[in-house]
Amino acid sequence: MKHKKLVIGLFGFGVVGEGLYKVLLQTPSLNATIRKVCIKDAAKKRNAPASLFTDDKNEVLQDEEINLIVELIDDSEAAFQIVKSALESHRPVVSANKKMIADHLPELLELQQATGTSFLYEAACCASIPVIRNLEEYYDNDLLHSINAVINGSTNFILTKMFDENLPFKEALLLAQQLGFAESDPRLDIEGWDALNKWSFLLTHAYGILVKKNELVFNGIQLITHHDAQVAVHLGYSIKLIAGAKKLSNGKVAAYILPRFVKNDDLFNSIKNEYNGVVVESSFADKQFFYGKGAGSFPTASAVLSDISALRYNYKYEYKKLYHHQVGELTQDFYVKVYVSFADWKYIPKDDFESIEEWHSNDQRSDLTGIIHFEKLANSDWWKTNEVSLILYPDDIIESMDVVKVKKRSLELAGFAG
């Protein structure tokens, strides 16, 4: 069977857009060509024939020959208007704009339903790793116990350079920017916003939860200090920015994006530089690990290419877990074991902790290890301000304090604890 010819209208010619242009030139078998590229500054010299470019979006959106829109621009609101207009004219869209998807998912769902038109965005999370399609097609909601992931390449790159090569934070960031991994405003990476955007819609595909971004507890790596890195190394850990989600025994889902200690022999510690990784745990398959480049021109373009290819078969996300299963629900009713480091005890609400197991102090910095109810973190920001740094321990989620108390009591009975 001959596939239909795809005539692409492309928005954006940055790191990913230009990557896609080159990748398509090397994939003639796809039978897809770029007819027009809309960019902000049509006069700027580019590595493609000048006749391809326009700065008038209507030249692309109203071109009857174009049967597929690929949206790869930075501005999320302008991107949404482009996607909306394309879907309303029944033209499928491929996008990599995580912020736009996170900010507009309910409207995008409605548009897909009303128009019956495909909207694919595999490149928007974990770039080259096919995580959305796997969550959609392979994992049944009931079987998915947990999904934990490194989903921001820039922060992972910076942490790797800091831990493995002793590079200062600023130098590592500059390198991530030069290599085209970082967002135009790198605070979006460093402070966790980019990971928040990605995780919010990944939770829809994983658990059928429509997440409001302000419901998710998140942070980035901006507060991690040299002291924390030294403590981590001393304990046999490294630090990763982890997006975590776990289905608790009551069926509700615990989720967050926070720095976490990972053991040196943990799968997460093998994720270096701009790579991303996703660890899925399910009832029968047990643990599975997806690994691949999470940022950069060609890895991201490869996911866009795969979506373009899937459109030859009119592939659509069915959002099965949202529409056909019992819709998932987030909870903050669980406990986490945390490491907190700080310059002054006055910033630490000691009474918020269920228990503080240990603490250390030196002239510059103190740190403690304790257990805290997650809702207490969700409803406060002391752990994101005043140079306080909070890192989760590896076995992070504790469903009930009873378990901790029973463990402690049995240690006491056995004579191990005072």
Which residues are annotated as catalytic?
A: 198
Whole-angstrom CA distances from 22 to 19, 41, 73, 91, 145 are 5, 20, 17, 23, 39
Number of chain residues interacting with ligand HSE (CB under 6 A): 11
Instruction: Using the minimum distance from each CB to ligand HSE, give the nearer residue, 182 or 243.
Output: 182
In contact, 19 and 25? CB cutoff 8 Å: no
Q: Is 153 a binder of ligand HSE (CB under 6 A)?
A: yes
Kindly state the smallest distance separating residue 151's Cβ from ligand HSE, in Å. Answer: 7
Contact stretch for ligand HSE (CB under 6 A) within 33-41, 150-158, 213-221, 399-407: 150-158
**DSSP character string of 164-196:** HH---HHHHHHHHHHTT-S-SSTHHHHTSHHHH
Per-residue contact track with ligand HSE, 114 to 143, x per CB under 6 A?
A: -------------x----------------
Residues 162-191 that bind ligand HSE (CB under 6 A): 181-183, 189
Instruction: Using the minimum distance from each CB to ligand HSE, give the nearer residue, 6 or 173.
Output: 173
85 C-beta neighbours (distance < 10 Å), count: 17
Per-residue contact track with ligand HSE, 302 to 341, x per CB under 6 A?
A: ----------------------------------------
Instruction: Using the minimum distance from each CB to ligand HSE, give the nearer residue, 241 or 254.
Output: 241
Rounded CA separation 122/255 (Å):
21
Whole-angstrom CA distances from 273 to 8, 154, 197, 199, 292 are 32, 8, 20, 20, 11
Q: Which of 295, 308, 330, 392 is the binder for ligand HSE (CB under 6 A)?
A: 295
Kindly state the smallest distance separating residue 96's Cβ from ligand HSE, in Å. Answer: 7
Residue 15, token pair as written in the block? 């790191």
Instruction: Using the minimum distance from each CB to ligand HSE, give the nearer residue, 70 or 295.
Output: 295
Return the sign of the alpha-carbon dihedral for residues 129, 135, 138, 142. Answer: positive
In contact, 374 and 334? CB cutoff 8 Å: yes
Q: What is the largest distance, in Å, between two alpha-carbon atoms of the chain?
A: 80
Q: Which of 130, 294, 328, 370 is the binder for ligand HSE (CB under 6 A)?
A: 294
Residues 188-217 that bind ligand HSE (CB under 6 A): 189, 194
Instruction: Using the minimum distance from each CB to ligand HSE, give the nearer residue, 66 or 172.
Output: 172
Rounded CA separation 233/235 (Å):
5
- Tell me which residue has tokens 């002239």: 363
Kindly state the smallest distance separating residue 182's Cβ from ligand HSE, in Å. Answer: 5
**Site residues (vs ligand HSE, CB under 6 A):** 127, 152-154, 181-183, 189, 194, 294-295
